[in-house]
């Protein structure tokens, strides 16, 4: 069951709204359909469902109707037509008192310009929803403190909002919504007013909190990169209509129309593509119990200077070089134990964004090792691979950047599988 279901939702400002809805039904652009009518259509026929625990991003430029849309979800604006259901309850037909109860118990909201009350302390702001709910003061304080702890602001509890930086203020806004304890969070351009660096930081924090709390989040933004970073699914809005709903990858690879295609053209693909989607199969992986002779042969065959070594359960241990293999041979060892070094090669996880690989690639003496969540070696990224991935991450190219054929033709098919088969994580 969906946590939130929206069905052919319309919002028309101005008079003769019914006529406007009727005219828009044909799907004509709003300017054309409403010509001569004293009405403007902010949201036209929006239909979508948000699953529990999902971050659903609504993305569009200003004037696309996304802020109007989110305000209809908790009844701050009354829809002209259509339905909004939260946990099966029809929001649009609720009486004021019932609507207030719904807002208290089910949906809270985070605002673009934080909307903190300047005359109340950070703690009082964080506990606002609980005050509205009529909780006794001690309990209010405790839960508000818990929420502030989640966003790391307990030390600021007794300060006024103007003592805080923008990023901190929005964390208070977030704490206020979290303290309410509702399952659904509406976030209206919540991070748009923040500096890019702060924005990334708070996005990370939101993702961390979300991993822990599993809220159902509707997130409005005009920033495609933000949408791609946060959204499990993304709805793209244009001129009041939702033109496409899908995962970040679906929207990147299969834009519904020219508008979406143009929109995603500017996306920084290095943030969407992950290590898993550009890595290559490692040429020579040896078990740590393999003898030095095997290692020497592997080095000779591949004409490289290192071999990647794994231990029990295929966990990545490190690398051995020619010198070490020779030493092991001289010392007549039966395996490579004691010769493996973890120093020479950097490791990254499969879901590391390509944009975050540069430093590792630059500092790693040999191709970066890519590990899965159990620490097993799943691939390597030589510098040249990263560079080619970058070169092909231009909008006009195929969505899966083709990795240049590796030196060893035998690894071709396996590598293609690796590149194509990875889901892009949110």
Cβ proximity to other proteins, 109 vs 275, nearer residue: 109
Contacts for 417-423 with beta carbons within 8 Å, 24 or more apart? 418/276, 418/277, 418/279, 418/280, 418/281, 418/378, 418/379, 419/277, 419/278, 422/274, 422/276, 422/277, 422/350, 423/249
117 is a site residue for other proteins (CB under 8 A): yes
Q: How far apart are CA 370 and CA 386, in angstroms?
A: 13
3-state secondary structure of 292: helix
C-alpha dihedral sign at 81, 82, 85, 90: positive
Residue 95 sits in the site that holds other proteins (CB under 8 A): no
Provide φ and ψ at 406, rounded to 5°: -75, 170
Q: How far apart are CA 214 and CA 305, in angstroms?
A: 46
Nearer to other proteins, 104 or 200 (CB): 104
> Out of 118, 313, 409, 420, which residue is the one contacting other proteins (CB under 8 A)?
118
The position carrying tokens 């054309």 is: 32
Count CB neighbours of 36 within 10 A. 6
Least distance (Å) between residue 162 CB and other proteins: 4
Beta pairing partners, 285: 308
Stretch that binds other proteins, among 100-108, 328-336, 360-368, 370-378 (CB under 8 A): 100-108
3-state secondary structure of 161: helix
Contact characters 125-164, other proteins, x per CB under 8 A: ---xx--xx--------------------------xxx--
How many residues line the site for other proteins (CB under 8 A)? 30
Choose between 76 and 355: whose C-beta lies nearer to other proteins: 76
Judged by CB under 8 A, which stretch of 11-19, 112-120, 216-224, 416-424 contacts other proteins? 112-120
Shortest gap between Cβ of 79 and other proteins (angstroms)? 16
Local structure of residue 376 (DSSP, 8 states): B
The stretch near other proteins (CB under 8 A) out of 104-112, 232-240, 246-254, 343-351 is: 104-112
In contact, 410 and 286? CB cutoff 8 Å:
no
Cβ atoms 7, 82 nearer than 8 A: yes
Helix (H) or strand (E) holding 248: helix 248-253
**Least separation, in Å, of the C-beta of 163 and other proteins?**
8
User: Is the CB of 111 or the CB of 358 nearer to other proteins?
Assistant: 111
Tokens (6 digits) for 237: 């809005």
Residues 361 to 400: which contact other proteins by CB under 8 A? none
Residues 179-218 touching other proteins, rule: CB under 8 A, are 180, 186
63-82: which residues touch other proteins (CB under 8 A)?
A: 71, 74, 76
- Piece in contact with other proteins (CB under 8 A), picked from 102-110, 205-213, 264-272, 415-423: 102-110
Q: Which is nearer to other proteins, 66 or 176 (CB)?
A: 176
Judged by CB under 8 A, the stretch of 2-10, 42-50, 115-123, 255-263 that binds other proteins is 115-123
Where does this chain bind other proteins (CB under 8 A)? 71, 74, 76, 100-105, 107-109, 111-113, 115-119, 128-129, 132-133, 160-162, 176, 180, 186
């Amino acid at each position: 069951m969906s946590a939130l279901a929206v069905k052919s939702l319309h919002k028309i400002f101005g008079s003769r709204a019914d006529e406007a809805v009727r005219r828009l039904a044909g799907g004509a652009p709003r300017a054309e359909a409403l010509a001569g009518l004293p009405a403007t259509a902010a949201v036209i026929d929006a239909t979508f469902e948000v699953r529990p625990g999902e971050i659903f991003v609504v993305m569009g430029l200003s004037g696309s109707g996304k802020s109007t849309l989110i305000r209809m979800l908790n009844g701050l604006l009354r829809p002209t037509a259509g339905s909004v259901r939260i946990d099966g309850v029809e929001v649009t037909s609720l009486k004021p008192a019932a609507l207030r109860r719904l807002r208290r118990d089910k949906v809270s909201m985070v605002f673009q310009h934080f909307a903190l009350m300047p005359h109340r302390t950070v703690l009082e702001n964080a506990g606002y929803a609980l005050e509205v709910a009529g909780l006794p003061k001690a309990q209010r304080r405790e839960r508000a403190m818990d929420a502030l702890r989640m966003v790391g602001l307990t030390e600021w509890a007794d300060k006024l909002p103007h003592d805080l930086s923008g990023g901190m203020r929005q964390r208070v806004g977030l704490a206020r919504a979290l303290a309410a304890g509702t399952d659904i969070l509406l976030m209206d351009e919540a991070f748009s007013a923040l500096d890019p660096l702060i924005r990334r930081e708070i996005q990370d924090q939101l993702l961390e909190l979300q991993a822990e709390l599993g809220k159902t989040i509707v997130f409005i933004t005009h920033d495609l990169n933000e949408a791609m970073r946060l959204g499990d699914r993304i709805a793209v809005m244009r001129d009041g209509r939702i033109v496409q709903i899908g995962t970040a990858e679906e929207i990147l690879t299969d834009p519904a129309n020219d508008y979406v295609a143009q929109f995603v053209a500017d996306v920084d693909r290095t943030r969407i593509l992950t290590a898993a989607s550009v890595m290559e199969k490692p040429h020579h992986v040896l078990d740590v119990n393999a003898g030095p002779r095997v290692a020497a042969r592997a080095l000779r065959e591949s004409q490289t200077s290192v071999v990647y070594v794994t231990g029990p359960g295929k966990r990545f241990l490190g690398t051995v070089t020619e010198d070490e293999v020779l030493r092991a041979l001289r010392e007549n060892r039966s395996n490579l134990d004691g010769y493996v070094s973890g120093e020479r090669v950097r490791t990254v996880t499969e879901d590391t964004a390509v944009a975050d690989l540069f430093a590792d690639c630059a500092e790693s003496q040999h191709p970066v090792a890519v590990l899965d969540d159990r620490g097993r070696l799943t691939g390597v990224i030589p510098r040249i691979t990263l560079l080619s991935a970058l070169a092909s991450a231009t909008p006009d190219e195929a969505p899966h950047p083709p990795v240049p054929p590796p030196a060893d033709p035998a690894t071709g098919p396996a590598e293609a599988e690796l590149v194509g088969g990875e889901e892009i994580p949110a």
